[in-house]
């Protein structure tokens, strides 16, 4: 049976160092709890599980840790594509400019892009109500579905491809 998991937010805040740097455990001196699994750490782990490609289609992308996850994948040679909302991409706090400067292939969608999904290696779907912002993760009541069920993954693969073809360079 396909792996399916539902994550609910807001997430407790915890340090992500053991996820980003698993080889140097407990070196972090930040005041957050360490070595704790939360909804957000699960989400970051799912994104970091990409080995060949990550396709992201979100309205807002201002969360620093999620940006770090995407840049980490980039360093590992994972192919990244980001589709964002055209208007949102221009505002303060958006990480789209950071991603562009890092050489990501980004595109923006005209008209309101209200999706919040990502596809890992064309195999794992991450979708839900969660915008990729700080507020959403820490404050809002949100949900994220993580699934390998082809009945869900395939329609979203098609939708990403369709939107990518109808988008513009960001």
Task: Tell me which residues touch Zn ion (CB under 5 A).
Answer: 15, 17, 28, 30
Helix (H, G, I), strand (E, B) or coil at 61: strand
Closest CA to 73 of 5, 27, 119: 119
Minimum CB distance to its own copies, residue 123 (Å): 16
Task: Determine, following the binding rule CB under 8 A, whether residue 161 of this chain makes contact with its own copies.
Answer: no
Helix (H, G, I), strand (E, B) or coil at 59: coil
Which tokens sit at 92?
């303060």
With beta carbons less than 8 A apart as the criterion, state whether 109 and 88 touch: no
Task: Determine, following the binding rule CB under 8 A, whether residue 149 of this chain makes contact with its own copies.
Answer: yes
Residue 11 vs 17, nearer CB to its own copies: 11
Whole-angstrom distance, CA of residue 52 vs CA of residue 161: 17
Told to judge if 121 belongs to the known catalytic residues of this protein, a careful annotator would answer yes
Whole-angstrom distance, CA of residue 165 vs CA of residue 158: 11
Task: Determine, following the binding rule CB under 8 A, whether residue 113 of this chain makes contact with its own copies.
Answer: yes
Please name the helix (run of DSSP H) or strand (run of DSSP E) that holds residue 134, with its range, or none.
Answer: helix 134-138
Closest CA to 17 of 8, 27, 9, 7: 27
Residues in 51-110 that interact with its own copies by CB under 8 A: 109
Query: Which of the choices Zn ion, its own copies, none does residue 28 contact, using the CB cut-off of 5 to 8 A by kind?
Result: Zn ion
Residue 75 vs 165, nearer CB to its own copies: 165
Minimum CB distance to its own copies, residue 129 (Å): 5
Task: Determine, following the binding rule CB under 8 A, whether residue 12 of this chain makes contact with its own copies.
Answer: no
# residues contacting its own copies (CB under 8 A): 33
Q: How far apart are the first and last CA of the chain?
A: 38
Query: Which residues contact its own copies (rule: CB under 8 A)?
Result: 4-6, 8, 109, 111-117, 127-131, 135-136, 139-143, 145, 147, 149, 151-152, 155-156, 159, 163
Active site positions, annotated: 114, 116, 121
């Amino acid at each position: 049976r396909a792996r399916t998991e539902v994550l609910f937010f807001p997430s407790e805040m915890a340090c992500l160092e053991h996820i980003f740097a698993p080889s140097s455990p407990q070196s972090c001196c930040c005041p957050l709890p360490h070595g704790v699994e939360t909804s957000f750490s699960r989400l970051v782990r799912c994104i970091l599980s990409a080995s060949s490609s990550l396709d992201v289609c979100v309205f807002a992308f201002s969360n620093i840790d999620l940006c770090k996850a995407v840049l980490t994948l980039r360093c590992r040679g994972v192919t990244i594509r980001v589709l964002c909302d055209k208007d949102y991409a221009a505002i303060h706090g958006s990480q789209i400019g950071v991603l562009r400067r890092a050489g990501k292939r980004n595109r923006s969608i005209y008209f309101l892009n209200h999706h919040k999904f990502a596809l890992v290696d064309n195999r794992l779907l991450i979708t839900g109500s969660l915008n990729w912002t700080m507020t959403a993760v820490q404050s809002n009541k949100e949900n994220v579905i993580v699934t390998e069920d082809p009945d869900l993954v395939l329609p979203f693969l098609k939708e990403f491809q369709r939107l990518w073809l109808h988008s513009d360079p960001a």
